[in-house]
């Protein structure tokens, strides 16, 4: 029986986004032009986007939430988007995670994150035995270096996440890992630990520099040489199938045979950008759709790029993007 569907494990939170007129200097005030509440985190954004893209296979949520109003927001959102929530662990004494996002016009975002229940995420919360019946094809994790106890190292010098990734590989799933732009003290060590259990690794230009030391944007321009060096470095550290490095300017997909596939970003009028929140997750969701369906790399990158552009033109971190057939 062929494997179908996706498990998405990791960060579940409520996103509270503020569009501000300008970033104030210390002690000063800025005007909030708009406030938007939603559900965020890599797993939520990816699964929600897959629903909008027309993914008709099981979408299963794994992670930790509290027993509060914010957790109700997450469960209501998941039900609306055909995401299976019953395997989320509800912690009665810990609050659900949330993120405050400040966005200045269509510019870059600043995040203030309350980890809450996500900090309690551990091996015991990822109960794969309950999910085997779905026979899922992909195990997605987001975001590495932001996974609470799963980022902690065990006595063998591996992160706790590695225990999960070994199990999912043994069950025949494809491990797809997404990084966070969080300057963790052990960033490189955590990535190196997980790499050999990872089939596909997703990262942006900031994360690539944190993980490898190679600067991808040099004088604000995408440096192809350093991008090749960074992806090559991660493949040599053990990533099994491909490293996908995406940025607003260009995208590089490099596979284990050192074949490189490039996709140049289309220029988009800055006035069309409503928010940059969730663009990377929209890109990742479309890639996962294509990986699941075993599409050629060129087709995957084209669809993923258009999905990211679509989310830039919305107020939300996920959803409200076209069916993948029309991208």
pLDDT tens track for 173-198: 999 999 998 888 999 999 999 999 99
Encode burial over 297-318: b for 16+ CB neighbours within 10 A, e otherwise.
beebbbbbbbbbbbbbebebbb
Assign a CATH topology to domain 6-23+31-326: 3.40.1190
Q: Are 175 and 141 in contact (CB under 8 A)?
A: yes
pTM over 0.85: yes
Sign of the alpha-carbon torsion through 12, 18, 23, 24:
negative
pLDDT digits (tens, 9 = 90+) for 305-327: 999 999 999 888 899 899 999 99
Q: Is the pLDDT assigned to residue 107 strictly greater than 80?
A: no
Answer with the residue of higher pLDDT: 143 or 36: 143
Integer Cα distance of 51 and 285 in angstroms: 10
The residue extents of the domains of the chain are 6-23+31-326
pLDDT digits (tens, 9 = 90+) for 230-284: 999 999 999 999 999 999 999 999 999 999 999 998 878 888 888 788 999 999 9
β-bridge mates for residue 251, sequence order: 246, 263
Mean pLDDT rounded to a whole number for the chain: 94
Integer Cα distance of 175 and 216 in angstroms: 25
Q: Are 95 and 269 in contact (CB under 8 A)?
A: no
């Amino acid at each position: 029986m062929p494997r179908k569907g996706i498990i998405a494990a990791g960060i579940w939170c409520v996103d509270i986004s503020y569009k501000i007129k300008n970033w104030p200097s210390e002690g000063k005030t800025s005007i909030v032009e708009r406030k938007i509440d939603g559900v965020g985190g890599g797993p939520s954004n990816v699964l929600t986007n897959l629903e909008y893209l027309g993914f008709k296979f099981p979408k299963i949520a794994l992670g930790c939430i509290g027993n509060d109003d914010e957790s109700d927001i997450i469960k209501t959102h998941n039900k609306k988007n055909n995401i299976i929530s019953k395997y989320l662990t509800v912690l009665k004494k810990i609050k659900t995670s949330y993120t405050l996002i400040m966005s200045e016009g269509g510019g870059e975002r600043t995040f203030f994150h309350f980890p809450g229940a996500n900090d309690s995420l551990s091996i015991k919360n990822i109960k794969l035995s309950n999910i085997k019946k779905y026979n899922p094809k992909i195990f997605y994790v987001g975001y590495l270096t932001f996974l609470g106890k799963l980022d902690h190292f065990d006595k063998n010098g591996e992160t706790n996440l590695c225990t999960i990734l070994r199990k999912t590989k043994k069950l025949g799933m494809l491990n797809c890992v997404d990084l966070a732009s969080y300057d963790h003290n052990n960033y490189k060590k955590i990535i190196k630990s997980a790499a050999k259990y990872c089939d596909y690794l997703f990262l942006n230009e900031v994360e690539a520099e944190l993980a490898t030391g190679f600067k991808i944007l040099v004088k604000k321009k995408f440096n192809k040489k350093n991008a090749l060096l960074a992806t090559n470095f991660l493949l040599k550290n053990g990533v099994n199938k491909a490293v996908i490095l995406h940025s607003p300017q260009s995208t590089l997909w490099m596979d284990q045979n050192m074949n490189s596939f490039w996709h140049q970003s289309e220029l988009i009028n800055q006035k069309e950008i409503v928010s940059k929140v969730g663009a990377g997750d929209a890109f990742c969701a479309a890639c996962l759709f294509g990986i699941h369906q075993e599409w050629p790399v060129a087709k995957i990158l084209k669809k993923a790029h258009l999905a990211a552009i679509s989310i830039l033109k919305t107020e939300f971190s996920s959803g409200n993007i076209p069916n993948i057939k029309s991208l």
